[in-house]
Amino acid sequence: MKEKSFKEKSKNFENGSGINFKSEMKILIATTNENKLDQFREIFKIHGADFELLSLQDVEIFDDVEENAETLMENAKKKAEYFGKKSSLISLSDDTGLFVDALSGAPGLHSKRWHKGSDFDRCLKLQEKLKHIPEKERTCRYIGALAIYNPENDEFFEFENKAEGYITDDFRGEADFGYDKIFHSLHFGKNYAQLSEKEKAQISHRGLGIKKYLDSLKKNE
């Protein structure tokens, strides 16, 4: 028997009652980053979507896809498509960049690679480059692209969102991920690393992207 198509599965969406495809619909979260994986699992949970979310380790895929495209979305699509075809599962991937106005948009597309070392090292380097600029004038934004690929029909769902803020002089918060400890959210008035997962889901490209994705399933019922 032929497996149901992605759109046929989406017809089971019922507004307000959550989504329960755990017995039949699986989504591969195509990342090796445990922090990112945990965030996606929490976001789906917040939105009441009870899909079976799998990691690359769960499906025994240990390949690495080079992020060498010219845009965040192209990187996200490249990874989602590669792992979707390899696993034969609906696959989700994303890419994120921090764009600082005073640095002509740097570190931007290369946020994870623009300076050697750890996330902490990159945060220190960014603060050093901005030290002569008043804190609240260090305007910037997180831009994130999210791609979901269905290998059954070779279709993509694409989402891109941004969150506005500025770079702080000091490190704030406990969560240690990317530039979160020095990125001050204008929406919440505190640094990203100080936000709960529920708060992040309200403004991040991951949270907003998954919400739009679930809304798209509802529209297809």
Give the residue numbers annotated as catalytic, written as ranges. Answer: 95
Query: DSSP string spanning the chain?
Result: -PPPPHHHHHTT--TTS-B--TTT-EEEE--S-HHHHHHHHHHHHHTTB--EEEETTTTT--------SSSHHHHHHHHHHHHHHHHTSEEEEEEEEEEEGGGTT-EETTTTTSSSS-HHHHHHHHHHHTTTS-GGG-EEEEEEEEEEEETTTTEEEEEEEEEEEEE-SS--SS--STTTTTEEETTTTEEGGGS-HHHHHHHSHHHHHHHHHHHHHHHT-
